[in-house]
Structure 1
Amino acid sequence: MTILEIEGLCADAGEHRLLHDVDLVLERGEVLAVLGESGAGKSTLGLALLGESAPGVTLSVRGNGRHSDCCRARPSRGVALLPQHPGTVLDPVRRVGSVLRELAALRHRARAGRAAAVAEACEAARFDPALLRRFPHQLSGGQQQRAALAQTLVTGPDVVVLDEPTTGLDPTTSAELVERLHALRANGTALVLLTHDLDVARALGGRAMRLEHGRVVARGTVAELLGPAVPHAIPTGRPAGDVRLRVRGLAIADRAGRAVLHGVDLDAGAGELLGVVGLSGAGKTTLGRCVAGLASARGTVNVDGALLPARIGRRSRAQRRAVQYVHQDPRATFLAHRSVIDQVARPAVLLRDVPAAAARDEAHELLTRLGVAPEVAARRPTTLSGGQLQRAAVARALVAHPAVLVCDEVTSALDAAHRDHLLAAIDALRHDHDTTVLLICHDLSLVERVADRIVVVEDGRVRI
């Protein structure tokens, strides 16, 4: 039974066409994998399936200018989206359970029905009901992903669009997610998987279509479209110099008093790339945020022998420049109304006193090395893909010439080719400026290929 049909969908951002005449048919309980590199148009298509578009993007249909006419068949219970960065759909000032109950009320008038719907959604998403009273910032990345999935499922949609659902997840959590998606499919929910993670696409099976520059260039089964995985060579690091970063006794607890980090000690040498790995919720991101001054913890953080205040607001301009942090979700760190190039150049002006014109030139050079073309950098952040914006976020941090660069899952939104290109560029740039890099990542096999050393974070403790 056909549950969703799209014909001749186009999307434009000004004079730049993002989607070209896309056709799509979806059956009940089917999985459709939409494959493509970063910037191919996957996320734009996913939003269009909901009848939505990013700011500055216009949707139209071949033969007329109305997006509403492109859906020849519509699901009776609607289409829901699990976004690439689930934290963006979690209300930061409301408890998770409150939002779930409000969404459940859209389908159930009776309180008992709402409670049952919330319980079913939590079970399907494997979200621990004990966490329902927490705010989103009190959850780990994996817990946020499960909360967002529960939020997606609580209204009982016929179609779920999953935009890079394994972004930032460790292999164990990714495998659990695939199991949950198989269960949804068995219950008749159709899934549209927007991904560059070929292993997840293979695990879910079904049909596939490949996008390149907004055009459908191939269709078939997942097995037909995906060949064997090809390993990519990444430059290896070098021995570390003198100790650049020294962390001692770092400890922090959440608002409920539960310890998140337990007296962490950590050293990283000048020019060293230190891999920080661990399961979701282990404390990796919290460790990186504490080093950057974005979370206040007990203990000490020293860079080049100088003690840094725990909070970034108490750090001097030179100290803020010394440690730069690249967030896992770049969309949360870019202003929607300013061009990407302006925002990437800004730290050079504010932290290094570089003239504006020279800062833009330097930013353009960095962006080009990281694979973001000048015409892309001239656009607003909302028109860039997650992968393009992540590379821009790395450039923005590097333009400050930091002593320590903290990269929190910076490769999770990238396909293999762009991931390897970014890591090679970071490797070259750290050699240029003797920058110490903390690479926080869930992918142990990737970190083993690029890091000089690796530490494992487990239950808030660092194990060498």
Structure 2
Amino acid sequence: MSDEQDPVVEVRDLRVEVGGRAIVDGVSLRVRPGRVTALVGASGSGKTTTGLALLGEFPPGARVTGEVHRSARGPVGYIPQHPAAVLNPARRVSALLTDIARAQVRDLPWARRRAAVRERVVRAMADAQLPDAETLLHRYPHQLSGGQQQRVVLAQALLLGARVIVADEPTTGQDTLTKSRIVDQLAALRARGIAVVLLSHDLDVVRALADEVLVMRAGRVVESGPAERVWRAPRHGWTRELLGGQPEFTTPEGTGPTLLRVRALAARHRTGGTTVRVPELDLRAGECLAVVGRSGSGKTTLARCLAGLHRFYEGDVLLDGTPLPRSLRDRDRAQLAAVQYVFQDARAAFDEHRPVLDQVARTAVRLRGVESAEATREALTTLASLGLPEELVLRRPGQLSGGELQRAALARALLAHPRVLICDEITSGLDTVTRRGILGILTDLLRERTDLSLVLITHDPDTAALANRIVVVEAGESAAREPHHTR
């Protein structure tokens, strides 16, 4: 074996145990330069824990056995699923990158340092495929799109000389064009001899990039091998289930009375500038409406206006013909319960210090006046229907996977007994098997509760196919159309 083919990271029989439960059990893998190694599997299968182990990071209180050996060829970079969480919101992009570059030129004469720092920063931004460096360097992280934030984190890793990049669900919640750019970006890293470890539910992206695939289930690798072989002839039943096609769902027609109306809505940023316009939109009881569009098109802003999470808009949002207050603070308990929002980043929507069950049950207590014991029983039943058993939801949010927390967030919203349920990319972070289950649950909800309306903010064609109607938002302007087919 040549030196170029030697692994830059090697994991041998890794076991990570938290609270007596093995979340990674007997995992071994080799990460080689210029290769993409993909870890796929359901939420909670151990992908992220394995990926973080390459950096030497483990959950608090974890008992770890096995070996993680890294060569001396450079650090391991990590791009999290939600990159904003690791970027200092109070510092501009220029400061975030300059601090790293400045530490690398201390041996140069003072007169040459500034130019050398600038050169390194600009090169890293170019390598991370961040165009228009002059403009972006002056922005804060919150002024960047999710894809731009992701590339800033990548630029930081490249500045540090990373020879391995762990990309955790890099395409979650991204539109097709952005996904294509991310694929190109990771392929460019591979072409430069950088090893990429891809943790992903997006099988299309894995197919486009992976050289090696490891399929995980319940903390163990159940199948591994060259990507072409795994796709062509999967050997394990779980792999075949992951690769299975999308079942057809029959969505009710939604012919009830008009429940929610939007009239002449024009939302803006707090500092001005229109972000989305919706001249007219009606939502009937029992109907499923999908709002689709590219990242940054304004579809989430529209949804947040409906939910009272964005109050800077003109026009009206009416529930049963009565205008809803623009802000959550001004809505009464019945109005709060009537319109519920399930966020894309479920982890940020939970208090990390309280058990998940308590937070889910609290919704029924606060918004419906249910007694605590009854609310807990109802919460357990709802969570179990979403595949979350009691022993899991008694834990704190940090001990659940992203997909598990997403299902818990859906359960929490359902305990309000809403009339309008707004789901913002709630299937984007889920594996194919869990996604099918969630779509089936949403279909059943519409069939069982004819008074419930569902609004889906999504990039996923299979999720949008659930809808009776589709609203396309492009550059802040909306246009309604019928879906090509209904499932």
User: Retained in 2: the 8 A contact 1:326–1:410?
Assistant: yes
Q: Distance in 2 between matches of 1:118 and 1:253?
A: 33
Give 3-state SS (helix, strand or coil) of 2:139's partner.
Answer: coil
Q: How many residues align?
A: 455
2:249 aligns with one of 235, 240, 256: 235
1:40: how far off? 0.5
For residues 137-184 of structure 1, give each alpha carbon's deviation from its aligned partner in whole angstroms, at most 9, with x where no partner exists: 333333333344334433231110011111001111111110111111
Match of 1:42 in 2: 47
Bigger shift: residues 141-150 or 187-196:
141-150
1:248 aligns with one of 215, 238, 263: 263
Matches within 5 A, 1:72-151: 72-109=69-106, 110-127=113-130, 128-129=132-133, 130-151=135-156
1:277: how far off? 0.5
In structure 1, give the amino acid aligned to 2:269: D
Match of 1:369 in 2: 385
For residues 227-276 of structure 1, give each alpha carbon's deviation from its aligned partner in whole angstroms, at most 9, with x where no partner exists: 48532214222222211111222223336644311355322111211001
User: Retained in 2: the 8 A contact 1:236–1:449?
Assistant: no
User: Retained in 2: the 8 A contact 1:142–1:281?
Assistant: no
Q: Distance in 2 between matches of 1:257 and 1:125?
A: 31
Cα distance change on mapping 1:450 and 1:263 into 2, 3 Å:
closer
In structure 2, give the amino acid aligned to 1:390: Q
Match of 1:194 in 2: 199
Cα distance change on mapping 1:411 and 1:442 into 2, 3 Å:
same
User: Retained in 1: the 8 A contact 2:276–2:299?
Assistant: no
Give 3-state SS (helix, strand or coil) of 2:8's partner.
Answer: strand
In structure 1, give the amino acid aligned to 2:55: L
Q: Distance in 1 between matches of 2:302 and 2:101?
A: 36
Cα distance change on mapping 1:113 and 1:357 into 2, 3 Å:
farther
Q: Distance in 1 between matches of 2:258 and 2:18?
A: 47
Q: Distance in 2 between matches of 1:351 and 1:344?
A: 12
Q: Distance in 2 between matches of 1:139 and 1:268?
A: 32
Match of 1:208 in 2: 213
1:426 aligns with one of 442, 446, 450: 442
Match of 1:441 in 2: 458
For residues 372-425 of structure 1, give each alpha carbon's deviation from its aligned partner in whole angstroms, at most 9, with x where no partner exists: 122211111111111111111111111111111111100011011100101111
Higher Rg of the two aligned structures: 2
1:279: how far off? 0.8
Matches within 5 A, 1:265-284: 265-284=280-299
User: Retained in 2: the 8 A contact 1:250–1:297?
Assistant: no
1:90: how far off? 2.5
In structure 1, give the amino acid aligned to 2:474: E
User: Retained in 2: the 8 A contact 1:9–1:59?
Assistant: no
Q: Distance in 1 between matches of 2:371 and 2:335?
A: 21
For residues 112-143 of structure 1, give each alpha carbon's deviation from its aligned partner in whole angstroms, at most 9, with x where no partner exists: 33322332333233334323333333333333
Give 3-state SS (helix, strand or coil) of 1:142's partner.
Answer: helix
Match of 1:67 in 2: none
Q: Distance in 2 between matches of 1:89 and 1:234?
A: 39
Q: Distance in 2 between matches of 1:171 and 1:115?
A: 33
Cα distance change on mapping 1:77 and 1:352 into 2, 3 Å:
same
Bigger shift: residues 150-159 or 30-39:
150-159
Match of 2:472 in 1: 456
Runs (5+) with no aligned partner, structure 2: 1-5, 107-112, 234-242, 481-487
Match of 1:60 in 2: 64
User: Retained in 2: the 8 A contact 1:48–1:59?
Assistant: no
In structure 2, give the amino acid aligned to 1:77: G
In structure 1, give the amino acid aligned to 2:446: R
Match of 2:303 in 1: 288
Match of 1:352 in 2: 368
Q: TM-score, normalised by structure 2?
A: 0.89
Matches within 5 A, 1:295-306: 295-298=310-313, 299-306=315-322
In structure 2, give the amino acid aligned to 1:125: A
Bigger shift: residues 133-142 or 371-380:
133-142
Give 3-state SS (helix, strand or coil) of 1:11's partner.
Answer: strand
In structure 2, give the amino acid aligned to 1:189: I
Bigger shift: residues 262-271 or 28-37:
262-271
Give 3-state SS (helix, strand or coil) of 1:150's partner.
Answer: helix
Q: TM-score, normalised by structure 1?
A: 0.93
Match of 1:324 in 2: 340
1:13 aligns with one of 18, 25, 35: 18
User: Retained in 2: the 8 A contact 1:324–1:405?
Assistant: yes
User: Retained in 1: the 8 A contact 2:422–2:455?
Assistant: yes
Bigger shift: residues 412-421 or 96-105:
96-105
Q: Distance in 2 between matches of 1:145 and 1:13?
A: 29
Match of 1:408 in 2: 424
User: Retained in 2: the 8 A contact 1:106–1:155?
Assistant: no
Match of 2:110 in 1: none
In structure 1, give the amino acid aligned to 2:92: R
1:8: how far off? 2.3
In structure 1, give the amino acid aligned to 2:247: A
For the aligned residue pairs, the C-alpha RMSD in angstroms reads 1.9
